[in-house]
Amino acid sequence: MRVNHAGEVAAQALYQGQALTAKDSGVTHALRHAADEEMDHLAWCEQRLKELDGRTSLLNPLWYAGSFAIGALAGVLGDRTSLGFITETEKQVESHLRGHMERLPAADQRSRAILEQMRHDEIQHGAAAASLGGEELPFWLRGAMRLTSRVMTQGSYWL
C-alpha cells in the first residue's frame, strides 16, 4: 500500500503541474478535477496504511517535486502532448493496480475495494484525456515512463 500511496503523491503532483501550464481552460478544469480525485486516492491509501500499521515512503517529497516538474513540462509542450502523457500514465497505473490486486491476500477485501475504485477512476482519467485530444506518445517515451515507474515502485517499496 506504501507504493500505491507514493503513486498517488506523484499523480496529484503531475496533474497539478499540468494544470498550471495547460493552455485551454477546459483542459485545466479536467486536470484539476482529476487532481482532486487523486487527492482522494491519496487519503484512502494513507488511511489504509495506518490501519495496516505501515508508513508512507520517505521518498515522497522527491516523487512530488519530480512529478510536478514533469507535469509542468508536459503542459508546456502543449495540451495534446500533456493529455497523451496522462492517457499513457493511466494505462500504466491501471496495469500496476490490476497486478497488485492479483497479489493481495484473498482476505484483504478492504485494500482490494480501495484499489478497485482507484483503478476505475484511473481508467476514467485516461479516457477523459484521450477524449480531450491526447496524442499517442512515441515508443521511447512510453518506455522511459515504464522505467521511471519501476524506479519509483522499488524506491517506495524499500524506503
The pLDDT value recorded for residue 27 is: 92
The pLDDT value recorded for residue 84 is: 93
pLDDT tens digits, 47-101 = 999 999 999 999 999 999 999 999 999 999 999 999 999 999 999 999 999 999 9
Per-residue pLDDT band for 9 (boundaries 50, 70, 90) equals: very high
Q: How many Cα atoms are found within 13 Å in the side-chain-facing hemisphere of 33?
A: 13
pLDDT tens digits, 119-149 = 999 999 999 999 999 999 889 888 888 888 8
Question: What sign for the dihedral angle of Cα 47, 48, 49, 51?
Answer: positive
User: Domain limits of the chain?
Assistant: 2-153
* Cβ neighbour number for residue 117 with a 10 Å cutoff: 15
Pairwise pLDDT comparison (145 vs 21), residue with the higher score: 21
C-alpha cell at 157: 517499496
The pTM for the full model equals: 0.91
C-alpha cell at 89: 500514465
Q: In the 8-state DSSP scheme, what is residue 136?
A: P
C-alpha cell at 92: 500504466
For domain 2-153, give the fold.
Ferritin (1.20.1260)
Burial 58-83 (b: 16+ CB within 10 A, else e): ebbebbbebbbebbbebbeebbbbbb
